[in-house]
Structure 1
Amino acid sequence: MYILMIGLNYKTASVGTRERFAFQEETKEQAIRVLKNTKSISEGVILGTCNRTEIYAVVDQLNRGRHYLKSFLADWFGVDKLEFSDFLYIKENDEAVEHLFRVTCGLDSMVLGETQILGQVKNSFFQSQNLKSTGTIFNMLFKQAITLAKHVQTSTDIGKNAVSVSYAAIELGKNIFGDFRNKTVVIVGAGKMGELTAKHLHEQGVNTFVVVNRTYERAKSVADQFNGKAISIQNLTGVLIEADIVISSIITDSYVLTKQQIQAVSQKRNYRPLFMIDIAVPRNLDSDINDLDNVFLYDIDDLEGIVEANLEKRSQEAEKINLMIEKELISFKSWISTLGVVPIMAALREKSLTIHQEAVRHIENKLPDLTQRELKIIRKYSKSIVNQMLHDPLIGIKEMAATPNKKEVLDIFIQLFNLEEEIYKQNQMREHNTESDLPNAMHPSSTIRNIPVHS
């Protein structure tokens, strides 16, 4: 079996193209079912965000897998394969695993280190798992990716430094005040930047903020989303008397607030400190405002300096995470290398248990006068002998699974312990166990040959 990933993202496709190949939430379950029943595919997960569409699959052959995954995309979205071939990237085995780790940790995001992607990966995996579209390999792989990303978020600073202007403005306010509780924030402008700023403020616990806009209806639309208050821009100076922070991002050819206006407001405030952050281009706030006592003005150049510094910090943290990903990749490859021996180990244990039970039954027949206590002691210590005899062969078979010639070695092991019948029985049981999360049963030699995902 092999791991295959195909997809397109913000690096390879425009927004319009990404929209064409976006799985709709109301039909995504059906898409997963179709993917699961596609030829060559035994496990599948669909990851869809505004910046990427990716399909992860466990396939029986790489060439067949690529063909059927492309066909699945073409059929589902009703387009010719040639229409998306230029946008598509394909990763196989180790590269696919490493890519998933990078995606989940936020290293492949448009905003380096963003944390929202972890929840999106988690939801995609759980959705596929609930629909029985994942099995042994993906249950392990996605669990490992999610655990890694959680560890990254708690042990590194990758997500702690603002890398957008609007968020940098919020972080600047936090650095000044510590937190926003009991602070009044005025947002001037109800466009995309203003709305995003309001969203960030709401997430930071602001319970008193005012949205100011030329159009009152638009200001109210944004304010209502976050339990804020809306006012018309004509009343701006009046609301500043109670403000602690002003964040301005309105489109205008002239200053929204001048030095003279703020000087008058400052007198009515009894010269309480007022922090003003101008994230608009052209600027909304007169730069001379910064000359006033207890009024502190920051513009977009100040914020972009913060963003650049924070991007550098995130890049440094990303280097740490790359090392963590390398270790996780090695760990997953090690686990995969032993996956092929699981049926063999189980078969050896099952055969040994059968022999042990048969021997105890003979003892009971030969010695019918044994008490229950005596029989219990015989079972316990005879089973201990069996377990001790199994210990070294089981350790050895796991080590053999990591050798280049493991196929030949494992075949010899099967023949040496005469395990063909036990393995066949296990495979038959798995075929009839619809609740099992193991891959489709195969002949023992096929299992050994196909499991090395990283080969």
Structure 2
Amino acid sequence: MAVGVNHRTAPVEVREKLSFAEGSLEGNLSRLNSHPVVEGCVILSTCNRTEIYAATRKLDECLNAIWEFLAQKSGASISEIRNYTYVHTLQDAIRHLFRVAAGLDSMILGETQILGQVRRAYQLACRHRASNRVLNTLFQQAISVGKRVRTETGIDQNAVSISYAAVELAKSKFPELSRHKVLIIGAGKMSELAARYLVANGVSGVIVSNRSYQRAAELAAQLNGLAVRFDQLYRYMEEADIVISCTAATHYVVHYREMAEVVARRQGRELMIIDIAVPRDVDPAVGRLPGVTLYDIDDLQQVVDHNLAQRKKAAALAEGIIEEELQQFMQWLSMQFVVPTIIALKRWGEELKERELRRALNRLGPLSERERKIIGSLANSLVNQVLHVPITQLKSYALTPEGHLYMKVLQNLFRLELPGEKPVGEASRERAAER
């Protein structure tokens, strides 16, 4: 079972109430896992989602237990939580986790961060002994699915945010970023993201200029870069190979005449300028200067739109991978349900064989070792042949929606005793006595 909220089903004020700080997970995992109907649980909590995955044999009781758990944790009413949460069970829960790990359920299609978050959630559940064998196998396969989708479809290869698209453009112009410096104009969120992406991709140096020098200094310190005053902008424009501008100005902050002088002093070195601002920061005429390549927000949006279309194509391929992996997991899971019955049936056959073999050997009297082996081999062969068809058929029926019914019929026909369950005959007698 999977119960959760995400950016599509709940506003941020609700998601905040239902989120879990990492330091609180140990106690919360233990508390939820201590409920009698919860056989194992994993809590996945990110800025955009909170999801509880639980293994149970009693779906309705488990769902109520999770709602009560979330209500106690958040202070919200159960009815409010029910309004915002989604619930997936059985195959739908498995498919949902696979899609989450693959980045298909994220705000940004195909994003990579969620796979690490799924892995950490699973590791925490294991560390605090909240998971169980079924959830262990499920999450291990989900992590494998996430990796496989990204490897086979390349869904995370094309930038779909403006800031990252700016970096991708810079990389296409200057493949070896380690040889180039970037000048960031403006210290807002978009500029900061682009700068961080460039640093992560190995740019040799970062220069930050902002009307508020203090803010420029703060950002430069975080990026191990250099802060410069706004009136020194053109001087440092000579040093940079990449310029990313995103200020809140209502007019151009980079002008043609000054840039013409900068270009002359650069002596033919190429300069890429990416203007993310709206209204634009850079006079469009700057793009006509020799050696200058200028992109504005519309150019980047075209890149993003193209890349998003590519990701959607990759997502269609990913859905096929997920269905294939889902069937593999369901086959494994179905086998887990019938294994105890198969073991019990084999034990029944072995006990029957041993009992009747002893009786026959006692009645036959003295026999040679060879004769005893022949009779024992006959008994083994008969039992194995009698049980072969029911066991083979049960394994095949386990993969169908009626599998549990065939399993129960077999248990009843042979009066099999399974660990933790009453013998069929005894259970029937107790029900008759109650009537």
TM-score by length of 1: 0.82
1:56 CA drift (Å): 1.3
Higher relative contact order (CA 8 A, sep 6+): 1
2:157 to 155, 160, 163: 160
Report the residue type matching 1:270 in the other structure: Q
Report the residue type matching 1:136 in the other structure: R
Report the residue type matching 2:320 in the other structure: L
Question: How does 1:9-408 map onto structure 2 within 5 Å?
Answer: 9-347=6-344, 394-403=391-400, 405-407=402-404
Moved more, 200-209 or 238-247: 200-209
1:59 CA drift (Å): 2.6
Query: What residue in structure 1 maps to residue 360 of structure 2?
Result: none
Distance 1:8 1:303 in 2: 32
1:388 CA drift (Å): 7.8
Q: Which runs of 5+ in 1 are unaligned?
A: 360-369, 371-377, 428-440, 446-455
Query: What residue in structure 2 maps to residue 364 of structure 1?
Result: none
Distance 2:161 2:317 in 1: 22
Moved more, 280-289 or 344-353: 344-353
Change over 3 Å in CA distance of 1:278–1:408 after alignment to 2: closer
1:412 CA drift (Å): 5.4
Change over 3 Å in CA distance of 1:297–1:406 after alignment to 2: closer
Q: Over residues 97-153 of structure 1, what are the superposed CA-to-partner deviations in whole Å (9 max), with x where a residue is unaligned?
A: 211111111111110110100010111011112222111221121111111110011
Q: Over residues 30-83 of structure 1, what are the superposed CA-to-partner deviations in whole Å (9 max), with x where a residue is unaligned?
A: 111111012422111111100011111123322222211111000112222233
1:400 CA drift (Å): 3.4
Distance 1:92 1:188 in 2: 50
SS of the residue corresponding to residue 198 of structure 1 reads helix
Does structure 2 retain, via aligned residues, the 8 Å contact 1:352–1:386? no
Moved more, 221-230 or 257-266: 221-230
Report the residue type matching 2:108 in the other structure: V
Question: How does 1:422-433 map onto structure 2 within 5 Å?
Answer: 423=418, 427=419
Distance 1:98 1:204 in 2: 34
Distance 1:64 1:289 in 2: 67
Does structure 1 retain, via aligned residues, the 8 Å contact 2:211–2:229? yes
Moved more, 116-125 or 87-96: 87-96
Change over 3 Å in CA distance of 1:85–1:345 after alignment to 2: closer
Change over 3 Å in CA distance of 1:385–1:178 after alignment to 2: farther
Report the residue type matching 1:36 in the other structure: N
TM-score by length of 2: 0.85
Moved more, 32-41 or 111-120: 32-41
Q: Over residues 257-280 of structure 1, what are the superposed CA-to-partner deviations in whole Å (9 max), with x where a residue is unaligned?
A: 101111111111112111100001
Q: Over residues 184-238 of structure 1, what are the superposed CA-to-partner deviations in whole Å (9 max), with x where a residue is unaligned?
A: 1111111111111121112111231111112222122222222222222121111
Does structure 1 retain, via aligned residues, the 8 Å contact 2:330–2:399? no
Does structure 1 retain, via aligned residues, the 8 Å contact 2:18–2:73? no
Q: Over residues 230-249 of structure 1, what are the superposed CA-to-partner deviations in whole Å (9 max), with x where a residue is unaligned?
A: 22212111111111110111
1:357 CA drift (Å): 11
Report the residue type matching 1:99 in the other structure: H
How many residues align? The count is: 411
Change over 3 Å in CA distance of 1:133–1:260 after alignment to 2: same
Distance 1:97 1:305 in 2: 36
Change over 3 Å in CA distance of 1:394–1:77 after alignment to 2: same
Does structure 1 retain, via aligned residues, the 8 Å contact 2:43–2:52? yes
